[in-house]
Amino acid sequence: MGTSRTGVAVLVVALLAGGAASCGKRDDVGAPAVGRNDYRKILPALCQALSFADAGKTKQANAAYYDNAHFGLHGLAADVAAKDSGLGGRLFRQHAKVEGDLSSFAPALSVDLNALIDVTATGLVRLGVPAKDCLGAPVTSKTASRS
């Protein structure tokens, strides 16, 4: 039995909606609406979280992630899934993986944050949102990963 792209996109959006209501260590009630301009803040926040994770500062990585990237990632993944269900699904899965790492202080946090940064950059490019990578270089369709 085949799966339609629309069916996959609906499933991803449903998972994102459920995830937004239940994930993380913070109270998600009253989460701000996310707009395209807010999406530009996600990569810098993820880069900051990665910097803390690389330094072994999991508590600070957790704060940088949840305070500055978490809500935006939910909206971004939903918007990406509407255009590219496969990419949206990868973004959602990597987002969930990082949250699991943060809650369990997993040693794979830096590796998983790097992967989330890559798929987030690819999603931003797919939506046409200008962004810069962790080194400050513009993210383009040529520099974004194809993960």
| CB distance 77 to 12 below 8 Å | yes
- Model's pTM, two decimal places? 0.76
122 vs 84: CA distance, rounded Å: 11
Strand partners, 138: 132
The average confidence (pLDDT) of the chain is 80
38 vs 69: CA distance, rounded Å: 9
Angle at 93 between CA 91 and CA 98, to 5 degrees: 95
109 CB neighbour count, 10 Å cutoff = 25
The pLDDT tens digits for 75-133 are: 999 999 999 999 999 999 999 999 999 999 889 999 999 999 999 999 999 999 988 88
